[in-house]
Chain A
Amino acid sequence: MNDSVFDTIRDIDDLPTLPSVAMEVMSLSRKPDVSIKSISECIYQDPSLAAMVLKMANSAFYRRGSGAIDTLHRAILMIGLNEIINITTSVSILSIFPPGDGQDESVRRMFWNHCIATGLIARHIDKKLAMKSMGREFVGGLLHDIGKIVLDQYFHDEFEEARAFSIDVDCPMHEAEQEVLGTTHMEIGHFLAEKWNLPGYLADINLHHHHPSAAQFKDITSLISIADLLAKAREFSFGGDRMSFVLADQEAWHILKQMGYPVHFLDLERFTFEIESIGDEVKSYIGALSETDARESANE
């Protein structure tokens, strides 16, 4: 039974898919000479997505200065292309796996809290280390654990068992999954990222965020690996993981150091205190998203 979880998921015909517009935006964004016009036209193909992106751009979380943002063109100018891609991805992915949905509503909410916290923390680290990930760090954080949501959706009871196991034995969640389900959220996430034809770095992050030295995109995978740990340390964990860790001993830490990022200049204590308020940021982000949801359904 155990070794079939992966196969079972692989053979599910109606696995959720990322809306085609979101995928197109992501692949467009990889082109070096992409124009504002081509991105906004692409998003406009899906009018409800376009409306949600605009509302999100006008939310308290993103709004810069005064004056409403009423076109995607203006939105891209005002808050930047990377953020528009972030919003498109968030809105799309959250429409497939809505926060207030799933077999167990609170689990789903914890899941998104963790992923958004990871994305936001990754964004803070990216800035501190001047890594210039150009928004990929937020999308990476948001999507690094998609394997978990699929496991929870299709193997809810077993996944719950793995969560309990992780807490009882005090082991990382992926080890508990291997024990209980015979596969891990990394394998499932990687499978999904490839199936959805997501950019290579996202497939890489999904598969390697617990062991970034095997990754092809080592810097961004290491960044997400650290952000993931810090999100858990801030009690934004999904699943068992209540592990303690020494950041300076982490594989990801060594990789970033070797690659020349100034990790040793980072005042880790201060940074940890700074991200104590990450909960408010997560709330504000989810609030902005659900605001758009609520208004969307009110408009219907």
Chain B
Amino acid sequence: MNELKTSEAPSLMTDETFRLLRDFIYEHSGIYFSDAKKTQLENRLTLRLKATNLGDFDKYYYLLKYDPQADRELRCLFDSVTTNETSFFRSPPQIQSFQEKALPEIMARREEQGEKILRLWSAGCSTGDEPYTMGIVTKELLQERLAQWDVKIWGSDISEKALKSARAATYSEYTLRSVPPEIKKKYFIAERSQYRVVDEIRTLVELQCLNFNDSKRVRLMRGFDIIFCRNVLIYFDDAAKKRFVSQLYDNLNPGGYLFIGHSESLHNISRAFKLVHFPGALGYKKE
């Protein structure tokens, strides 16, 4: 009966509760909902309100703050406040720059140094499309020489739900829309109407749940050659962006590259990187 009532007349979020929830989320994830995004937060949390059977947002806030089960709910909250929009070979000019410029440059240097190690990170990997794309591109570049290399691609996300589907590595035709046909044939197994990433690529990728606000754990992510962190910074306010980007700088090896989302910018966020113009895309280099 109660449940019915809630769904018929969803309770509204007062400005005060909005600020409490907003600050709570910010404190725990760095994800920031500006005043303009109140409706967005309200819409997303309405689903959690229904799922937890709570009557209003105050009670929901109380649960997050004091309930022994709060951790579990917090994970669900992260699932619902992040957008998992992603796809294979997203923003092709960026992938092309990664494939034709950044990666070959780093591989050449590694070979020169006599250590064939590659460490890549898809930070905010969502359902895994991006780290698997990085894997496919690496394999395409190295071909049979891949066996001589120690390649590890980390995919991290705050959303357990997204990571669960990343682990399943099974995708719809739609997410594969930018994948060239010969790549699709080579690296995906068609299963009914779905496509599964082949094991050869899956084994290159290591997935883990990581909250960018957890600076201790983020600091442990060391020695990366290339980091993709696309369409993640949009969730943060400037202070959190600065903190996080400066952390990413430390996570990179000298000579490494950071790629952020197409049309995202580090202007006013960081002066540490060198802005590199690739054909059709921008990258940030740690000197």
Chain A residues packing against B (C-beta within 8 Å): 229-230, 232-235, 237, 242-249, 267-270, 272-273
Contact = CB atoms under 8 A, between A and B. Distances in A.
B263 interface: yes
8 contacts: A230-B277, A233-B280, A235-B93, A235-B279, A244-B276, A246-B274, A247-B277, A267-B267
Interface of B: 93, 97, 100-101, 263, 265-267, 274-280, 282-283, 285
Given A269-B265, A270-B267, A273-B263, A249 B97 contact: no
Contacts of A249: 274
Contacts of B282: 269, 272
A270 B265 CA distance: 7
Contacts of A243: 279
Given A244-B276, A248-B274, A270-B265, 16 more contacts: A230-B277, A232-B279, A233-B278, A234-B280, A235-B279, A242-B279, A244-B97, A246-B274, A246-B276, A248-B275, A267-B265, A268-B275, A269-B266, A269-B267, A269-B282, A272-B277
Nearest to B105: A244
A266 to B, nearest CB: 9
B277 A244 contact: yes
Nearest to A267: B267
Q: Which secondary structure dominates chain A's binding surface? A: helix
A164 to B, nearest CB: 16
Contact of B275 (A230, A246, A273): A246
Contacts of B263: 273
B267 A268 contact: yes
B275 A269 contact: yes
Contacts of A237: 279
B101 A244 contact: yes
A234 B280 CA distance: 5
A230 B283 CA distance: 14
Contacts of A229: 277
B280 A235 contact: yes
A229 B275 CA distance: 14
A293 to B, nearest CB: 30
A206 B36 CA distance: 52
Contacts of B93: 235
A245 B97 CA distance: 12
Contacts of B274: 246, 248-249
A273 B216 CA distance: 35
B141 to A, nearest CB: 14
Nearest to A268: B275
A275 B261 CA distance: 17
B107 to A, nearest CB: 14
Contacts of A273: 263, 265
A247 B282 CA distance: 11
A246 B101 CA distance: 13
Among B100, B274, B275, chain A packs the most CB atoms within 10 A around the CB of: B275
A114 to B, nearest CB: 13
A181 to B, nearest CB: 24
B266 A233 contact: no
Nearest to B93: A235
Contacts of B278: 233, 244
A83 to B, nearest CB: 29
Contacts of B285: 246
Among B265, B275, B277, B283, chain A packs the most CB atoms within 10 A around the CB of: B277
A171 B109 CA distance: 18
A247 B276 CA distance: 7
Across the A-B interface, the 7 shortest Cβ-Cβ residue pairs: A269-B265, A233-B277, A244-B278, A242-B279, A267-B267, A269-B267, A235-B280
Nearest to B285: A246
Nearest to A230: B277
Nearest to B104: A170
Contacts of A269: 265-267, 275, 282
B277 A242 contact: no
A78 to B, nearest CB: 35
Nearest to B274: A246
A208 to B, nearest CB: 21
Contacts of A242: 100, 279
B280 A247 contact: no
Among A234, A244, A246, chain B packs the most CB atoms within 10 A around the CB of: A244
A270 B267 CA distance: 8
A246 to B, nearest CB: 5
Contacts of A230: 277
A237 B277 CA distance: 14
